[in-house]
Chain A
Amino acid sequence: AQSVSQHNHHVILSEAASLELGCNYSYGGTVNLFWYVQYPGQHLQLLLKYFSGDPLVKGIKGFEAEFIKSKFSFNLRKPSVQWSDTAEYFCAVNVAGAGNTPLVFGKGTRLSVIA
């Protein structure tokens, strides 16, 4: 079974600071990787995804993530955060090539951006 670890429970940054949120997964096979964001009181929105190819993927709102297979990691980055990035961020994986496998989520990282 897959599992996902997000190392930071709560991150507090000032506006314009750079962001990196860690995500590691455990699974021996090929996975699809996702970052979802949940703004306060809202539903989950997909930020970016990795299926195959270039391990550096770019998503919406200036976010990017890098898949490092040897480290089983898929860290999320943004060079300069804004107050509006305050939200909960979830890393998720599912098994690639296996049909409709559900997502396995990490426990989330709460990002608070202060002025």
Chain B
Amino acid sequence: DTAVSQTPKYLVTQMGNDKSIKCEQNLGHDTMYWYKQDSKKFLKIMFSYNNKELIINETVPNRFSPKSPDKAHLNLHINSLELGDSAVYFCASSLSGAHYEQYFGPGTRLTVT
């Protein structure tokens, strides 16, 4: 059973388009995250949700809009895609509390042409 799953795995699209990435976890976690890994492999937090509520929103353009319909899902919608949005996007989840690790999804490689 896949713990944290993301779809699609690969996404190739043109500048200016709007696209969505979906994430689902079946671990019973209450906190979910989106991270961006750039071309130099650097990973940085974008958003964090706890019980469907946004709790962290790093300095991310407002073209990126996360949505959490329930605790098990956290989707990422991106409007007006730009070349610089090309990256691998990882979803993760964890339990809330002081000492829990995060489990990562397989990533979505987004290529904007």
Contacts and interface: CB of A to CB of B under 8 A. Distances in A.
B43 A90 contact: yes
Nearest to B94: A100
A17 interface: no
A58 interface: no
A38 B90 CA distance: 12
B86 interface: no
A100 B94 CA distance: 8
Given A102-B56, A103-B102, A43 B96 contact: no
Nearest to A36: B104
A17 to B, nearest CB: 23
Interface string A36-64: 10100011111001011000000000000
B43 to A, nearest CB: 4
Contact of A34 (B44, B97, B98, B101): B101
Nearest to A48: B101
Given A107-B40, A108-B41, A108-B42, A46 B101 contact: yes
A2 to B, nearest CB: 11
Best-surrounded residue of B90, B99, B105 (most CB of chain A within 10 A) = B99
Contacts of A52: 99
B107 interface: yes
Interface residues of A, number: 26
A99 B96 CA distance: 5
Contact of B98 (A90, A98, A105, A108): A98
Nearest to A38: B41
Best-surrounded residue of A49, A88, A100, A110 (most CB of chain B within 10 A) = A100
Interface of A: 32, 34, 36, 38, 42-46, 49, 51-52, 88, 90, 96-100, 102-105, 107-108, 110
Interface of B: 31, 33, 35, 40-45, 48, 50, 55-56, 90, 92, 94, 96-99, 101-107
